[in-house]
Amino acid sequence: RLPVPKLEDTITRYLNAQRPLLNDDQFRKTEELARQFEKGIGRELHEQLVAQDNQNKHTSYITGPWFDMYLKSREPVVLNFNAFMSFNPDPKAEYNDQLIRATNMTVSAVRFMKTFRAGYLEPEVFHLNPEKSDTEIFKKIIRFVPSSLSWFGAYMVNAYPLDMSQYFRLFNSTRLPKLNRDELYTDEKAKHLLVLRNGNFYIFDVLDKDGNMLKPSEIQAHLKYILSDSSPAPAFPLGYLSSENRDTWALLRKHLLDNGNEEALQKVDSALFCLSLDDVSVTDFVHLSHTMLHGDGANRWYDKSFNLIITKDGTAGINFEHSWGDGVAVLRFQNEVFKDSTKAPAISPQSQPASVDSSAAVRKLDFKLNDALKAGITKAKQKFDASVEGLSLNMIQFHEGGKDLLKQKKVSPDAVAQLAFQMAFLRQYSQTVATYESCSTAAFKHGRTETIRPASIHTKKCSEAFVRELSKHSTEELQKLVVECSKYHGRLTKEAAMGQGFDRHLFGLRYLALSKGIALPDFYQDQAYARLNHNIISTSTLVSPAVQLGGFGPVVADGFGVGYQVHDDWIGCNVSSYPTRNGKEYLQCIYKSLEDIFNVLKGKKMGS
């Protein structure tokens, strides 16, 4: 179970995270408020939270508050919450044809779904020592241990089974817009796939009445039929509605239902998933990121648990809605689909589509729109175009080293990347700001995520040495500062992964106070608390053989969204930003920072 941290630990960790962001006077005030909270109302709330947690052993203390945080937010999901991960191309070039890849990935996705539902999907396990635990013999032995004890057997060899309670929401699921708080909807009985092309909605069954998958050649035939349909794009594409403010969209959805679209919407909501076939070809990584993060708005249904997007040139990616689950569930799905569709593809470039009557099997959904709905779609499109217009996406690849060299120098690769982000911001804007790094707590039942706070007194001191006073320090001194950052970051990461961060705990206490109608404690009204939760640098990382790159929008208007990967011998980084920040310049500063850190670690003389 996810532990509720001790209150005194949470307050200490909170103050450690505040220290680099505040001057002495501000910090004194914040510390005083924190200590009062710890002794007074905070203690009462903490005891209530622990008692509540003890009464709800089937879940975790963060589950309810975290679902509410997402589902009560009224901001559009696109750019604010939905993230993307793009697939690597199929190693066999001729398999990157749009129809071939769409067929193979759809078949692999259905195979994954059927394996999962039948209870045959291999458990997700984090192996700290894969040589010992990620072996056939371990799997054979653990298979016979009763499940009440098997996790303990896994712990003995440093293998940690991860929570998979989010996985069922991958399929047949949608976030439904409702006033004040959205709802998650799942209908596991539905057998059809939703396909979007050119802003038009099509459905066809991929499972028969017994739940068996259609022959791949039939799926290929139906997709070919959709790709060759010459219907014009709708004048009022419905997809834009899913990019609206959630209350606005909830009211428009009610109009849609009242206007005779109930059955069509039901088909959209219950579909296995949404396959978006785009008519554009990807030109470069920036274009790829724009396509997968938001696309044109007409050929997406952002509320589906995920959209599998395949462009004209066979580039594939996933855009996922974030309230139902976190990156780990989506990543497992992507890894399996990539592996299966490339290693055991259902069809080949030589395969012929089945000679079936696709015009009978495929149904194009028609939506009845009145003037109010047409006006709503037009307005949604204007708002969507304006927000996308303001979004910049930029990226770099740093090829002067990666994970291998950093491990050889005994520093944490993630710590070095995060240090570079701090150093770069200091170089560009001369300040240290609130920074967020996501860390999965899936090692616990119903765990979600915890925040790592990468901005510390250590990164601040190190950044100032590199940016402002390079000539004053010897290479050894600079190396020492980097190692210090690495050690501290390692500790924060370990704490977060073990459910010992402070962010979720404080969030849970605040949520409890509000739900009980208690006046919001002064601690939460401190400007410093608000500032710490205004995450100007929001970061997330993943590395996988299936994924080329991932990214998300900034979480605040004056922020950066930083997606990054530290590979064996290079580092990739992409940054999203709005007009108040210059993402291109920030990336140049990141590149310079990485260069400096690597040079110092290689023992090069810096400065004078």
For the annotated catalytic residues, the residue numbers are: 322
Q: Cβ(214)–Cβ(206) under 8 Å?
A: yes
Distances (CA, A) of 568 to 86, 180, 408: 19, 46, 11
Which is nearest to 564 in space by CA: 530, 593, 587, 546?
587
486 Cβ partners below 8 Å, 6+ apart?
A: 411, 412, 415, 416, 419
Positive/negative CA dihedral, 251, 256, 258, 261 = negative
For residues 382 and 419, is the Cβ–Cβ distance under 8 A? Answer: no
- Cα distance between residue 73 and residue 180, in whole Å: 8
Pairing of strands 159-161, 200-205: unpaired
- Give the number of other CB atoms < 10 A from CB of residue 283: 10
- Three-state SS at 493: helix
d(CA 438, CA 330): 15
DSSP helix/strand/coil, 323 = coil
**C-alpha–C-alpha distance, residues 592 and 597, integer Å:** 9
Element at 595 (helix H, strand E): helix 583-601
